[in-house]
Amino acid sequence: MPDEFKLTPQMLAQARVIAKGNRIRDIERLVADYGGRPSWWIKKSSPRFEIGGRQFEYHWYEHPGIGRVEIKQKQVN
């Protein structure tokens, strides 16, 4: 991923929660792959940003003590 498209401190500060704990579709896989209590996992989304006229967001999972995992850039309409 090019440097200019990294998850920035401003994006992290403006992130919104998409799902928590058992409301995360992949919670069983996250616990199996990374560990931690299911209830502590959070799925988050960054604010939208533009690249080449298209809108994108970052989506990722977080757990205290484990950190951020599986950061993905998603195109949105």
pLDDT tens-digit series, residues 2-41: 445 688 899 999 999 999 999 999 999 999 999 999 999 9
Asked if residue 24 lies in contact with residue 39, where contact means CB atoms within 8 angstroms, the answer is no
- For residue 9, the one-letter residue type is P
Number of domains in the chain: 1
- Contact between 54 and 75 under an 8 Å Cβ cutoff? The reply is yes
The pLDDT confidence band at residue 1, using thresholds 50, 70 and 90, is very low
Predicted confidence at residue 7, as pLDDT, reads 85
- Domain of residue 19: give its range: 3-76
Note the pLDDT of residue 77.
Answer: 83
Q: Which amino acid is at 43?
A: K
Asked if residues 19 and 43 have their Cβ atoms less than 8 Å apart, the reply is yes
The CA angle 72-60-16, to the nearest 5 degrees, is 120
What pTM was estimated for this model as a whole? Answer: 0.87
